[in-house]
């Protein structure tokens, strides 16, 4: 065998090693695959552009994609998700989907507000759904889909405010009467989580101390962990994180330091395996429902732009099941949460949405 031959053989083996490594990695990754049904019942094609959190964030973007998948099941819609690696990807991603003939495009996340306003008029035949986006005067083909995060967080606050007093609930509860909120970026939907959480906790436990910290991003796990550690250090025994991937860092901190956790957006008991032993509940936000409903409107030809708000009454927000803590949380606490929920729905209680209103 001549030398060059041997070299190429060695190179080939190296490549094969890299490839097998890649295969090994890919099997653990759960990138949702597009599966188009054989006989589409509708011609409507629906797509979404993720924010920089991308698919696999186990909350926001994944939920929107779950909504698309529900539409695929229900209507046979062809679906597609384009991930954004960076902010510069937002506009070109929308351009590409619109020119590829998608009929409805979801832009996921508050940070894409400006982009949606800019792009919707450019493609008047495409329906746009902006998740978490508020518009003063949106064009007819743009719908802003907002959530009353404060209402779901209010229930989480009631739960945490009572649980932190109940040392019989779990040996991780301490006597400090302190709980913590970890936010991603300080933007309105996250502020609503924070304010609702504080209001809920104070409504049942006026002396409770709520530590509020912001990571400044939704993807910095190390920062999320650091902030959670700092708040646990100061006595917090329950940490509520509305911080995307940074919240996963908070989970790690709670596991290490023996604190309890409340998840966000999705039922994170189901989506974040390692959180199972510490997660009381999650303040869920049914982004999937909102996406599914809008696709339905487009399919049925009833789509109109404008602002739609999803609150407790519309089943757009709420609390996830208690799962492993079902038996540990006392009936009194559960009753208090249910009562708070009923009060919010019938309007007895109005949950503040901004820090100024708190």
Partner 1 sequence: MRNPITSVRLKSVLEQLATPFVSVLLAFAIGSIVIWAVGYDPILAWTSLLKGAFGDARRLGDTMLRATPLIFTGLAVAYGFRAGLFNIGAEGQLFLGGLSAAWLGLLVVDLPRGIGIAIMLVAGALAGAAWAFIPALLKARVGAHEVITTMMFTFIGRYLVSYLVTGPLKAEGQIPQTVKLAPETMIPKFSETFGIDFGRAHWGFVIGIAVCVLMWWILKYTTTGYEARAVGFNQWAAETGGVSVSRTIIKSLCISGALAGLAGVVEVIGVQGRLFDQFSSGFGFTGIAVALLARNNPLGVIAAAILFGALSAGAGTMQLEADVPQKVIFIIQALVIFFVAADQIAKWVLSPFKRKGAENA
Nearer to partner 1, 80 or 148 (CB): 80
User: What is the distance between the alpha carbons of residues 4 and 9, in angstroms, rounded to a whole number?
Assistant: 9
Nearer to partner 1, 36 or 348 (CB): 36
Contact region with partner 1 (CB under 8 A), list: 11-19, 159-167, 171-179, 237-245:
11-19
Sign of CA dihedral 14, 16, 18, 20: negative
* 1 lies in the site for partner 1, by CB under 8 A: no
Residues paired with 307 in a beta bridge? 144
Q: Mask: binding to partner 1, 14-33, rule CB under 8 A, as x and -? A: -xx-xxx-xx--x----x-x
What is the smallest separation between the CB atom of 22 and partner 1, expressed in angstroms? Answer: 4
Nearest-5° angle of CA 319, CA 155, CA 187? 90
User: What is the distance between the alpha carbons of residues 143 and 128, in angstroms, rounded to a whole number?
Assistant: 6
* 305 contacts 83 by C-beta, under 8 angstroms: no
Q: Tell how many helices (H) and how many strands (E) occur in the chain.
A: 11, 12
* 352 lies in the site for partner 1, by CB under 8 A: no
Number of residues that bind partner 1 (CB under 8 A): 44
Report helix, strand or coil for 157.
Answer: helix
Contact region with partner 1 (CB under 8 A), list: 109-117, 141-149, 303-311, 342-350:
109-117
User: What is the distance between the alpha carbons of residues 254 and 32, in angstroms, rounded to a whole number?
Assistant: 29
All residues at 6 or more sequence positions from 201 whose CB lies less than 8 Å from its CB, including other chains: 157, 158, 160, 161, 179, 208, 210
Q: Which of residues 132-161 bind partner 1 (CB under 8 A)?
A: 134
* 216 lies in the site for partner 1, by CB under 8 A: yes
What is the smallest separation between the CB atom of 154 and partner 1, expressed in angstroms? Answer: 20
Of 43, 140, 167, 186, which one interacts with partner 1 (CB under 8 A)?
A: 186
What is the smallest separation between the CB atom of 69 and partner 1, expressed in angstroms? Answer: 15
Of 40, 74, 83, 330, which one interacts with partner 1 (CB under 8 A)?
A: 83
| Helix, strand, coil share (%) of the chain residues, nearest 5 | 45, 20, 35
Interface residues toward partner 1, by CB under 8 A = 3-4, 7, 11, 15-16, 18-20, 22-23, 26, 31, 33-34, 52, 54, 80, 82-89, 91-93, 95-97, 100, 110-111, 113-114, 134, 185-188, 216-217
């Amino acid at each position: 065998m001549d030398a060059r031959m041997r070299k190429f053989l060695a190179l080939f083996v190296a490549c094969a090693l890299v490839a097998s490594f890649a295969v090994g990695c890919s099997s653990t990754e759960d990138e949702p695959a597009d599966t188009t049904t054989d006989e589409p019942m509708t011609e409507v094609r629906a797509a979404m552009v993720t924010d920089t959190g991308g698919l696999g964030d186990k909350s926001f973007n994944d939920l929107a994609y779950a909504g698309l998948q529900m539409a695929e099941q229900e209507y046979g819609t062809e679906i597609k998700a384009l991930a954004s690696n960076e902010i510069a990807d937002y506009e070109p991603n929308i351009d590409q989907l619109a020119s590829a003939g998608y009929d409805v495009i979801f832009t996921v996340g508050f940070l894409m507000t400006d982009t949606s306003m800019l792009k919707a008029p450019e493609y008047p035949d495409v329906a746009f759904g902006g998740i978490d986006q508020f518009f003063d005067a949106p064009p007819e083909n743009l719908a802003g889909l907002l959530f009353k995060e404060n209402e779901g967080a209010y229930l989480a606050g009631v739960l945490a405010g009572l649980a932190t007093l109940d040392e019989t609930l779990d040996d991780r509860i301490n006597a400090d009467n302190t709980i913590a909120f970890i936010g991603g970026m300080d933007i309105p939907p996250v502020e609503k989580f924070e304010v609702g959480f504080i209001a809920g906790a104070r409504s049942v436990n006026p002396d409770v101390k709520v530590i509020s910290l912001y990571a400044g991003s939704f993807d910095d796990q190390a920062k999320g962990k650091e902030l959670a550690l700092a708040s646990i250090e100061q006595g917090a025994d329950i940490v509520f994180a509305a911080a995307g991937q940074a919240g996963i860092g908070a989970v790690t901190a709670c596991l290490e330091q023996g604190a309890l956790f409340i998840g966000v957006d999705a039922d994170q008991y189901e989506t974040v395996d390692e959180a199972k032993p510490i997660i009381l509940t999650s303040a869920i936000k049914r982004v999937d429902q909102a996406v599914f409903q809008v696709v339905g409107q487009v399919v049925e030809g009833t789509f109109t732009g404008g602002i739609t708000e999803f609150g407790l009454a519309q089943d757009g927000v709420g609390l996830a099941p208690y799962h492993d803590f079902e038996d540990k949380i006392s009936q009194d606490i559960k009753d208090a949460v249910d009562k708070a929920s009923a009060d919010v729905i019938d309007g007895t209680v109005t949950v503040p949405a901004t820090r100024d209103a708190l």
